Chain A
Amino acid sequence: MSALLEVKNLRTSFKTDNGIVAVVDGVDFAINPGETLGVVGESGCGKSVTSLSIMRLLPSNARNEGTITFQGNELLSYSEKQMQGVRGNDIAMIFQEPMTSLNPLHTVGKQIEEAILLHMKVSKQEAKQRAIGMLKAVGMPRAEEIYGEHPHQLSGGMRQRVMIAMAMACDPKLIIADEPTTALDVTIQAQILDLMRDLKDKTGTSIMLITHDLGVVAEMCDRVIVMYAGQVVEETDVMTLFENPKHPYTIGLINSIPNFEDEKEYLNTIPGSVPLPYEMPKGCRFAPRCTHVKEICNQQAPQLEEIEQQHKCRCWLYTEEDAS
């Protein structure tokens, strides 16, 4: 099966006052048609920048290297005009903050219609029908009325449904959802995740789900990549990730999930924080926070290697033999 989206050796750097800083450094992954790929990592690890690189929506001081192949076409070589034809049409995005992701002055309907009119050859009337249809598809009651309402009249969960309707409006092949449920109440989160799963099953679109919530990953994803400090540190299917995590960082993440069964006074945490992009450690980027750190970790950066079938990991614990 050929991949829908293939990212190879992506390096995204920004020109800043501290010199050129690579926020994403050598990221590889692929998304197959109909698949949900989870991208996990804590704040500042490059998840969002990776997604914005795919959409080519980074500010002008950013530079992309590597390849991003979508349906056989190289997106990094596309012109801005060509990209405008891809955005919202082939690849759509759902943002984190439903309260601010809708233009406060336009009606909900107009905002959904905008994408439809841009990318599909339909009349205004057909676009309106489709927009109302989308509102119904995302489970909005009174879709016809809500079509003419402004965002401030809707709750956070409803706005996120509108965002999903906007993203789905042109039947994209891939939806990039950047922390789509982080800002929502837990009960609404579950509804939104259910909705996304239903829509995915109906339309067969792929989803790239960016999150720091492993619960969301367990619920939604087929495959997961774990990112740390701008690199992929582990890639595997979702079952293996929870049953047999390999990278110490992944293990730390899973251990820090609150667990109601064994009552403890403290939650497990990973000490320290992600290193700043312009002061990366020389060897393994996780070494300063790792409990299994060895001599080689501080000297040489490990590579992302397949340690088991369909399970890649970037750690000296598993690849030591090759090095010595």
Chain B
Amino acid sequence: MKSLKKFLRSALGVIGALIILALVVMAIFAPQIAPFDPNAQDYNAILVEPGGEHLFGTDDLGRDIFSRIVYGAQVSIKAALVSVGIAILIGVPIGLLSGYFGGFWDEWVVMRSVDAIQAFPFLILALAISAVLGTGFGNAMIAIGIGFAPAFIRITRGQVLQLRNMEYIHAARATGVKDMRIIFSHILPNALNPIIIQSTLAMAAGILAEASLSYLGLGVQPPTASWGSMLNQAQTLMSVAPYATFYPGMAIFLVVLGFNLLGDGLQQTLDPRIRK
């Protein structure tokens, strides 16, 4: 409760939370909000300018851009949750075990692999993995998740290194508690705060990465609306219909900003080093 009150006092964090809330509402109630079928092509209304019946105008196939952005929110939410979920599922257990047991595996296998993965620019890595796995939303999510996992390994391991020398962990061991139980019941809950903060920040990057991969044609496949693929298709129309790139771009910008603000707000509330 105290944390919640504190969070509500950080104005930017609240703005971020509101943007994310709007995104979630938009995704859930997409069929009710969207005035048109996002994939319906209307050859009588090709490249209609924004305003009037088509709020954000239409694209070169006569599809309503506003409706496509509303439905695209579903893809973005899925991208954020699935990619970060995969990263957490891979990163957190590895970080926990590696940090707790230490030794050769930790220092030379896990941490050096993490270094190797993080040495690549993230998008190039995701591109390479999706190229190997093939195109499609699921594979794009796996690629992004693998790309994010090292950050979670690092952050979790760092927490474990700090926590495993706490007296209550010694006390638990001295009570005869088994290693796995110490890791998951005593260390993990105490390590959660920075993982949660990292998750919100990674979700922003996940949406951006999905948009990038879809823009490059490796993510969501047509005709499904995704903000990235909308940008991709609209770029050829830049000179005739600049609004067709403006709205999806704006949507990406706002949501990424929202997640980042939310992450910063959470960090200020949860991080004991900043907490006063």
Is there a chain A Cβ closer than 8 Å to B238's Cβ?
no
Contact of A93 among B166, B174, B177, B186 (CB under 8 A): B174
Contact A163 B176 (CB under 8 A): no
Contact A87 B174 (CB under 8 A): yes
User: Total interface residues on A, using CB and 8 Å?
Assistant: 28
Contact A166 B173 (CB under 8 A): no
Is there a chain B Cβ closer than 8 Å to A192's Cβ?
no
Is there a chain A Cβ closer than 8 Å to B172's Cβ?
yes
The distance in angstroms between the C-alpha atoms of A153 and B171, with both chains bound, is: 19
The distance in angstroms between the C-alpha atoms of A232 and B169, with both chains bound, is: 29
Is there a chain B Cβ closer than 8 Å to A84's Cβ?
yes
> Which residues of the partner chain B approach A87 to less than 8 Å between Cβ atoms?
173-176
Contact of B175 among A60, A104, A105, A166 (CB under 8 A): A166
Chain B residues 176-196 with CB under 8 Å of chain A are 176-178, 185-186, 189-190
> Which residues of the partner chain A approach B103 to less than 8 Å between Cβ atoms?
60
Contact of B167 among A84, A88, A100 (CB under 8 A): A100
Is there a chain A Cβ closer than 8 Å to B6's Cβ?
no
With CB as the reference atom, state the residue of chain B lying closest to A89: B176
Closest Cβ of chain B: how far from A274's Cβ, in Å? 23
Contact B173 A103 (CB under 8 A): no
Contact B176 A86 (CB under 8 A): yes
Contact A57 B170 (CB under 8 A): yes
**Interface segment, one of A2-10, A114-122, A196-204, A288-296:** A114-122
> Which residues of the partner chain A approach B186 to less than 8 Å between Cβ atoms?
103, 106
> Which residues of the partner chain A approach B189 to less than 8 Å between Cβ atoms?
105
The distance in angstroms between the C-alpha atoms of A84 and B175, with both chains bound, is: 8
Contact A92 B168 (CB under 8 A): no
Contact B166 A88 (CB under 8 A): no
Is there a chain B Cβ closer than 8 Å to A127's Cβ?
no
Is there a chain B Cβ closer than 8 Å to A95's Cβ?
yes
Contact A100 B166 (CB under 8 A): yes
Q: For the A-B complex with A102-B171, A115-B176 known, give 19 more contacts whose Cβ atoms are closer than 8 Å.
A: A57-B170, A57-B173, A83-B176, A84-B178, A85-B176, A86-B176, A87-B174, A88-B175, A88-B176, A89-B176, A101-B167, A101-B168, A103-B172, A105-B189, A114-B177, A115-B175, A118-B176, A118-B177, A163-B171
> Which residues of the partner chain A approach B102 to less than 8 Å between Cβ atoms?
60
> Which residues of the partner chain B approach A85 to less than 8 Å between Cβ atoms?
176
Chain A residues 27-85 with CB under 8 Å of chain B are 55, 57, 60, 83-85
The distance in angstroms between the C-alpha atoms of A95 and B175, with both chains bound, is: 12
With CB as the reference atom, state the residue of chain A lying closest to B101: A60
Closest 4 CB pairs of A and B: A88-B175, A87-B176, A88-B176, A93-B174
Contact B168 A102 (CB under 8 A): yes
The distance in angstroms between the C-alpha atoms of A60 and B106, with both chains bound, is: 14
The distance in angstroms between the C-alpha atoms of A101 and B175, with both chains bound, is: 12
Interface string of A128-139 (1 = CB under 8 A from B): 000000000000
Is there a chain B Cβ closer than 8 Å to A305's Cβ?
no
Closest Cβ of chain B: how far from A151's Cβ, in Å? 9
Is there a chain B Cβ closer than 8 Å to A171's Cβ?
no
Contact B177 A101 (CB under 8 A): no
The distance in angstroms between the C-alpha atoms of A55 and B172, with both chains bound, is: 12
With CB as the reference atom, state the residue of chain B lying closest to A104: B190
Known pairs A60-B103, A105-B190; A55 contacts B174 (CB<8 A): yes
> Which residues of the partner chain A approach B190 to less than 8 Å between Cβ atoms?
103-105
Chain B residues 92-137 with CB under 8 Å of chain A are 102-103
Contact B171 A95 (CB under 8 A): yes
Closest Cβ of chain A: how far from B130's Cβ, in Å? 39
Closest Cβ of chain A: how far from B272's Cβ, in Å? 11
Known pairs A101-B168, A102-B168, A103-B190; A92 contacts B174 (CB<8 A): yes
With CB as the reference atom, state the residue of chain A lying closest to B165: A59
Known pairs A103-B190, A105-B189; A97 contacts B167 (CB<8 A): yes
> Which residues of the partner chain A approach B174 to less than 8 Å between Cβ atoms?
55, 57, 87-88, 92-93, 95
